[in-house]
């Protein structure tokens, strides 16, 4: 049954993976200096957004089932300081944050799915907490992709259906039989 916690957890894991890969594929198109470009002194570069995601991920997902998601050791305001040295450091933070997410996801199962988790003393069901984080990460990964696209301009390699390609894309989809398939599988299949 689709409403079983295991099915939900499989689906949300694929969606988190999808957003991670959108970021990965954006970084791959950019030069090192592009990762640190700020359009305005008060705007965030890709590196700053990654640093914020890293801080959020470590805070929210460390001891996910047993400790408040806003850890005392988190320094949220510092996440928006432009002090990442280079691409290597940025990617280390990106990977460390996502590793924390996926490790915590691996610890959720049907036996503990009814656990109430807290973020800033506000109780969340597992579903609410996961949906909250998925939406937050999608928001920021969308910013990363948008900045990357602006920087690359005409040289941008689309991460979705290319502009003007909807008709051909849909024709290909509707030429196949109806089936049960997660929407991320095509995007992730070349991984």
**For the chain, percent of residues with pLDDT exceeding 90:** 79
CATH at residue 125: 1.20.120.450
Token pair belonging to 79? 């996440």
Q: Which residue has the higher pLDDT, 1 or 26?
A: 26
Lowest mean pLDDT among 4-8, 124-128, 147-151: 4-8
Tell me: pLDDT of 51 over 90: yes
For residue 1, what pLDDT is reported?
A: 44
Rounded to an integer, the average pLDDT of 64-78 is 97
Name the residue range of residue 35's domain: 5-188
Mind listing the pLDDT tens digit for each residue in 119-128?
A: 999 999 999 9
Tell me: pLDDT of 190 over 70: no
Mind listing the pLDDT tens digit for each residue in 21-34?
A: 999 999 999 999 99
What's the chain's average pLDDT? 93
User: What total number of domains does the chain contain?
Assistant: 1
């Amino acid at each position: 049954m689709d409403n079983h916690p295991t099915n939900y957890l499989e689906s949300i894991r694929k969606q988190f993976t999808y957003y991670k890969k959108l970021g990965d594929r954006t970084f791959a198109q950019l030069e090192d200096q592009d990762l640190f470009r700020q359009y305005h002194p008060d705007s965030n570069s890709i590196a700053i957004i990654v640093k914020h995601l890293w801080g959020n991920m470590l805070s929210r997902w460390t001891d996910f089932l047993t400790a408040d998601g806003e850890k005392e050791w988190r320094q949220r305001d510092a996440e928006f300081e432009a002090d990442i040295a280079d691409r290597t450091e940025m990617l280390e933070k990106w990977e460390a944050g996502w590793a924390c997410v996926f490790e915590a996801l691996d610890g959720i199962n049907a036996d503990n799915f009814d656990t109430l988790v807290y973020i800033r003393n506000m109780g969340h069901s597992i579903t609410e907490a996961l949906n909250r984080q998925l939406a937050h990460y999608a928001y920021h990964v969308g910013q990363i992709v948008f900045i990357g696209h602006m920087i690359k301009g005409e040289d941008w390699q689309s991460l979705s259906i290319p502009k003007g390609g909807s008709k051909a894309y849909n024709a290909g989809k509707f030429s196949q039989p109806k089936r049960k398939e997660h929407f991320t599988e095509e995007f992730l299949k070349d991984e």
